[in-house]
Structure 1
Amino acid sequence: MLALTCWSCKTEYPNLPYNDIESFSIQDADGKTLSASIVNDQIILYWPPLVEQPESITPTIKISELATITPASGTAIQLQSDKPITYTVRAQDGSSKNYTLVFQYNQPLVQAKMNLLEGKYYLSYPKNEPISIRGENILLDETQTKGYLVDKDGKETLLSFYAAPQASGIVFNTPEDLKPGIYHIKLISGRYTVLTDPFEVLLPTLYNVIKWQDMFYTGRKGGDLVLNINSREAYELYFKADFDHFIAVDNLNNEYSINNVVFDVAAMTITLPIPVSVKGDAINTLKMMDKNGKLLSVGNFNISLN
């Protein structure tokens, strides 16, 4: 009778209906705890700026009493996937709720500027120099940072890296078929796309054509000035088809047109007939001009005249 009385007094409680995620946290690369924000059915995890996103995380998850969660707390999750990551919390009474993990990269604003003097880039031979930009907050991950050369018509050419990107700057190789013209560089780094100011690509400087290092030239007014060719290949590749004449600037800043110039690539010489009318006693600048009077290249020299 006593046992029967006790059994009849036992209270039965309903299964709990709670299926919430109460907290979600991970450890970053330095061992610091990062806690996610739980907003409705989203787990929003903010990753620190300028720190490479990991391929996987192992979260610690706290859920409602007597509920279960799939995947379980402490299970490694791969982030490098196109599929959304979903957690399912099932309450004691069998009801369930799905949560989607949203991985937010807390990226500061990216800035980029061309690292060029007066916005000019000169082609060179036999290989063009790399081109660099100065910046801020550039992501180091080469899968998230890309550079494109954009011409005046909007055509984009993907640039390869000369060196690994840095947060404060990046260096790209230039295309082998780069032509003179006006360009921008479009930098994509994470969530940001930045377009640099325009810059001008010019033909090689005259030092690629005229040998100057360790050479001292002296000419005579009314006579022929013989210069040495620095690179036959540079001359033939960039200038031979369009060159027409030189313009010489003397040390008094007067300009003189020099025609009938002879390029002897076999002898590796350039013969310039110096006008007798030159007033100064030196030529400080030479300009290569095309048939339409357009400047091809320029170089500063110190050529003494008698």
Structure 2
Amino acid sequence: MLAITCWSCKTEYPSLPYNDIESFSIQDADGKTLSASIVDDQIILYWPPLVNQPESITPTIKVSDLATITPASGTAIQLQSDKPITYTVRAQDGSSKNYTLVFQYNQPLVQAKMNLLEGKYYLSHPKNEDLVVRGENILPDENQTKGYLVDKDGKETLLSFSQPPTSFIAQFNTPGDLKPGIYHIKLISGRYTVLTDAFEILLPQIYSLITLDSYTVKKGENLVMPIKSTEIYELFFKTDFDHFIAIDNLNNSYKITNATFDVTKKIVTLPIPTTIQGNQIKTLKLMDKNGQILTEGDQYITLN
């Protein structure tokens, strides 16, 4: 009788209705604990700046008493996915609540500009120089940082890295079919996209083509100069070259149409007009048939 009386007096408690996430934390790349913020139905996890985002995380999760969570605490979660990551907390009484993981990459603003003198880049041979972008807060990860060469018409060409990026430099190989013109580089690094100022790609400088020196020649005679690189002449100038423009020390210009390049002898012959008024040629320009400058440079040709 006593046992029956005690059993009948036992209190029945209702199942708990709590289905909250109380804490959510992971370990970063250095083993430090990162705690997420729980805001309404979101788990907001802030990743440190300039640290590569992991492919997966293994969170430690604490939930309400007697509640369960799916996926369970200690389960690895893949982050590299387009699908949202959802956690479901089920209370003791069977009620449930869903939480969405929001992974925030705490990235500072990216800055970038071309490392060029006066915004000019000269083609060369046998290999063009790298296209170098200097900046700040560039993500040092080839998967998260990309560079595109953008021409005047907006056409984009994906660039390959010549060496891995750092936080301050992104260095790219030049495309093999690079042509003269006005360009930008679009740098995408993490959440930011930056467009550099416009820069100009030019044919090789005249110093790369012709051996320029201090020459002395009589007006009306031929000036013979060595070709420094026949490869540069063949690649960049042979098709389009039409004539020279010479500028004397009085700033008078003279069109010289009968100059010749002899690749076999590796010389260029420049007839000096008798009409030159100055006593020195200070600038030489290589021109195409449309009167556009192919390349130019200062020169010191003394005239007798």
TM-score (norm 1): 0.93
Q: Is the partner of 1:217 in helix, strand or coil?
A: strand
Counterpart of 1:298 (choices 282, 296, 302) is: 296
Shift of 1:226: 0.4
Shift of 1:254: 3.9
1:250-294 per-residue CA deviation (whole Å, 9 max, x = no partner) reads 345443332310111111100111223445444332111122222
Q: What corresponds to 1:257 in structure 2? A: 255
**Structure 2 matches for 1:92-241, cutoff 5 A?**
92-212=92-212, 217-241=215-239
Q: How many residues align?
A: 304
Q: Take 1:151 and 1:21, find their aligned partners in 2: how far apart are those partners?
A: 51
Check whether the contact 2:214–2:299 (CA below 8 A) recurs between aligned residues. Answer: no
Q: Is 158-167 or 215-224 further displaced after alignment?
A: 215-224
Q: Is the partner of 2:139 in helix, strand or coil?
A: coil
1:28-62 per-residue CA deviation (whole Å, 9 max, x = no partner) reads 12222211111222111111111100122121111
Check whether the contact 2:17–2:95 (CA below 8 A) recurs between aligned residues. Answer: yes
1:166-219 per-residue CA deviation (whole Å, 9 max, x = no partner) reads 21121111111111111111111111111111111111111221024xx65332
1:81-130 per-residue CA deviation (whole Å, 9 max, x = no partner) reads 23322222121112222212111111111121121111111111222211
Q: Take 2:118 and 2:176, find their aligned partners in 1: how far apart are those partners?
A: 23
The reply on whether 1:71 has 2:43 as its aligned counterpart is: no
- Letter of the structure 1 residue corresponding to residue 258 of structure 2: N
Q: What corresponds to 1:287 in structure 2? A: 285
Check whether the contact 2:19–2:89 (CA below 8 A) recurs between aligned residues. Answer: yes
- Letter of the structure 2 residue corresponding to residue 111 of structure 1: Q
**Structure 2 matches for 1:33-48, cutoff 5 A?**
33-48=33-48
* 5+ residue gaps, structure 2: none
- Letter of the structure 2 residue corresponding to residue 193 of structure 1: T
Q: Is the partner of 1:162 in helix, strand or coil?
A: strand
Shift of 1:64: 0.1
TM-score (norm 2): 0.93
Q: Take 1:4 and 1:176, find their aligned partners in 2: how far apart are those partners?
A: 94
Q: What corresponds to 1:26 in structure 2? A: 26
Shift of 1:14: 0.8
* 5+ residue gaps, structure 1: none
Q: Is 39-48 or 76-85 further displaced after alignment?
A: 76-85
1:209-261 per-residue CA deviation (whole Å, 9 max, x = no partner) reads 1024xx65332332111001122222122212222221223345443332310
- Identity over aligned residues, as a percent? 77
Q: What corresponds to 1:266 in structure 2? A: 264
Shift of 1:144: 1.4
Q: Is the partner of 2:163 in helix, strand or coil?
A: coil
Q: Is the partner of 2:61 in helix, strand or coil?
A: strand
Q: Take 1:70 and 1:87, find their aligned partners in 2: how far apart are those partners?
A: 6
